[in-house]
Amino acid sequence: MTTFESKKVINASPEAVYGFLSDFNNHGQLMPDSVQNWSASYNEAGFTVQNTIKLSLRITERVENKAVNITAVDNPPFPVQLNWVLEADSDKTNVTFSITAELNMMMKLVASGPLQKLADHETESLESLMRIS
């Protein structure tokens, strides 16, 4: 398994950050432009990455104000898990977003850069959105 991780300090309470992340309807706002055809419900989301890979995701666990765990479902190109971990720090929240993927050597060469960029983009977008709210 290969893990890609991004950390940010968000200027919002864990309750506010968790409230946003626990609903997949909000995650479309975190996605880069390469993600197209985003559709979501409270527990599930689907999208296409630049007309190449179609992914379906499901929130598999919510730990109130602490974590949101997501798994790729419906035959993803490789097994992947996305995890948001929240830690209170006064009136702020330390956020860690990780993408854990089972990649063979060829996929690791191709996908490592884009997956790290995705992790970084999502935490940066979350930081920006929480600043506005």
Range of the domain at 7: 2-23+60-132
Is 98 domain-assigned? yes
Strand order in the sheet with 35-40: 2-10, 92-101, 80-89, 67-73, 53-63, 44-49, 35-40
Its pTM stands at 0.92
**Domain presence at residue 109:** yes
pLDDT for residue 133:
59
In a domain, 75, yes or no: yes
Q: What is the pLDDT of residue 107?
A: 87
Question: Considering its fold, how many domains does the chain have in total?
Answer: 1
Considering the domain boundaries, does residue 51 fall inside one?
Answer: no
47 within some domain:
no
Contact (CB, 8 A) for 70 and 56: no
Q: Any idea what the CATH number is for the domain that residue 66 is in?
A: 3.30.530.20
| Model confidence pLDDT, tens digit, residues 17-59 | 999 999 999 999 999 998 999 999 999 999 998 877 889 999 9
Is the residue at 99 inside a domain? yes
Among residues 65, 24, 69, 17, the alpha carbon closest in space to that of 47 is found at: 24
CA distance from start to end of the chain: 36
Question: Is 74 within the bounds of a domain?
Answer: yes
Portion of the chain with pLDDT greater than 70, in percent: 98
Residue 35 domain-assigned?
A: no
